[in-house]
Amino acid sequence: SYELTQPPSVSVSPGQTARITCSGDDLPKQYTFWYQQKSGQAPVLVIFEDNKRPSGIPERFSGSSSGTMATLTIDGAQVEDEADYYCYSAASGSNVKVFGEGTKLTVL
């Protein structure tokens, strides 16, 4: 079965750049999406189609993808960005849709 791999945790100080990676064999052929989920809340879409930002998402959030790895970057991370972040994509040639295991971002 298709899998997306993320690091379990990333930690930065406020104002630093946080980078969260997501690797998957089909990422060269499929878009990556990123969701933010704060404790006890619904997930929120922060990046779609590799590098597009939905309206209302701060400009410090950006996405990129190269080869089999996608990256979510938060420039100047803030305390309120502490959350779990999940990447999401689809397997090529099938109906399979998968989420990464999630990365806990700590900003302190």
- Min CB(13)–other proteins separation in Å: 26
**Nearest Cα residue to 62 out of 46, 77, 44:** 46
Question: How does strand 9-12 pair with strand 103-107?
Answer: parallel
Residue closer to other proteins by CB (options 19, 104) is 104
Of the candidate spans 21-29, 60-68, 71-79, 98-106, the one that interacts with other proteins by CB under 8 A turns out to be 98-106
Contacts of 28 (CB under 8 A, 6+ apart): 67, 68
Residue closer to other proteins by CB (options 16, 38) is 38
Residue closer to other proteins by CB (options 67, 95) is 95
63 binds other proteins (CB under 8 A): no
24 binds other proteins (CB under 8 A): no
Question: How does strand 44-47 pair with strand 69-74?
Answer: unpaired
